[in-house]
A = this chain, B = another copy of it.
Amino acid sequence: MAGSTLGTIYRITTWGESHGAGLGVVVDGCPAGLPLTENDIQSYLDRRKPGQSRITTPRKEDDAVEILSGIFEGKTTGTPISLLIRNTSQKSRDYSEIAGCYRPGHADYTFDQKYGFRDYRGGGRSSGRETIGRVAAGAIAAKVLREFGIGLFSYTKSIGPISISPERFEQAAVSETPTCMPDRDASALAEKYLSDCMSSYDSAGGVIECVINGVPAGLGDPVFEKLDANLAKAVMSIGAVKAVEIGDGIEVSTRNGSSNNDPFRLENGKVVKVSNHAGGILGGISDGSQIVLRAHVKPTPSIFSPQNTVNRQDEEIQISIKGRHDPVIVPRAVVVVEAMAAITILDALLVNAGARMDHLKAIYKS
């Protein structure tokens, strides 16, 4: 079914395979009147671009975006924004040997079971390149949000056993370290750790954190369209993510109510919370404080050491994966998590516009 569309009002539809003609996204429902250029989108795509350091795949792709529709005289018109990113560095021969077998940790087997066959070139639709459309749509969403004073910030919290230290937190380091860690010491350790992984033909996982500031109270809807529920879906839909936490997340299960509740108080006449264990969401609705979420990312399943598996002829075989692969997915996925959060928050903001009679009367003066 239509698995490639997300959102109620800000609705995105992505498409494309790793080794097809290209990838892209159609962004429908973007509010009219937003200044937007290809640069706004390219700067996000560049954050996930491969080939930027020795801990990312050596595949070289410019991933240059072309805006095909929806912009006129530099502004969004309210109609669909179609974005195209051509693939330029496909090497289909790299993958010919895995065409007939099921790589452990990959979607080869499940795609075959679901559809009867699959586009095996570079993982086809289940490739990490699928996230290009998400990032492009997220760049637009983030630009809309900035107009309302909402800012997103994402970073690597840990790689394998190496975690950042709150004491050394330095925001600028995120864009300057190859790990996207806001802690240069931890980043150096993580690079060393990844080198060791690569030496032993292995890979590593990690954790990404995203914080969102400036979200007004009131976004998200009761019951199934809770803001945290939609954030969880959006982030869990990223290929390698296996767990999603909101606020203090897994920690809350061992807490008592007295220590987990966030008391309210007044600050300059405004209701605020003394703490933020809840991560900015109460009852599925934003409470005006910082929204905090974390994604737990599995180690890259493509490893060079030999693995046992089965082929399409139902024979047990051993494979050693070749090709170009990141030893860790996390640094390039940081911007993907941020993009999915931006898309989700914006959709909630647009949906919420119709929630109250008094708000509607601000638009429709009779």
Q: Contacts A216-B364, A258-B305 given: A287-B110 contact, CB under 8 Å?
A: yes
Contact A77 B363 (CB under 8 A): no
Contact B115 A356 (CB under 8 A): yes
Residues of B within 8 A of A117 (CB): 32-33, 72-73, 75, 77
Nearest-CB distance from A128 to chain B (Å)? 11
Q: Contacts A3-B225, A80-B13, A105-B257 given: A31-B357 contact, CB under 8 Å?
A: yes
Contact A31 B355 (CB under 8 A): yes
Contact A107 B284 (CB under 8 A): yes
Residues of B within 8 A of A260 (CB): 105, 205, 298-299, 301
Interface presence of A50 (CB below 8 A): no
Chain A residues bordering chain B, tally (CB within 8 A) = 170
Contact A69 B15 (CB under 8 A): yes
Interface presence of A149 (CB below 8 A): yes
Residues of B within 8 A of A183 (CB): none
Residues of B within 8 A of A4 (CB): 26, 28, 79-80, 222-224
Contact B285 A114 (CB under 8 A): yes
- Give A129-163 interface residues, CB cut-off 8 Å to B: 130, 144, 147-149, 158, 160-161
Q: Contacts A34-B357, A115-B32, A223-B237 given: A366-B149 contact, CB under 8 Å?
A: yes
Q: Interface digits, A104-136 against B, CB 8 Å rule (1 contact, 0 not)?
A: 111101110111111101001110001000000
Interface presence of A336 (CB below 8 A): no
Residues of B within 8 A of A233 (CB): 224, 229-230, 232-233, 236
Closest to A147 in B: B357
Interface presence of A24 (CB below 8 A): yes
Q: Which of B261, B353, B364 contacts A104 (CB 8 A)?
A: B261
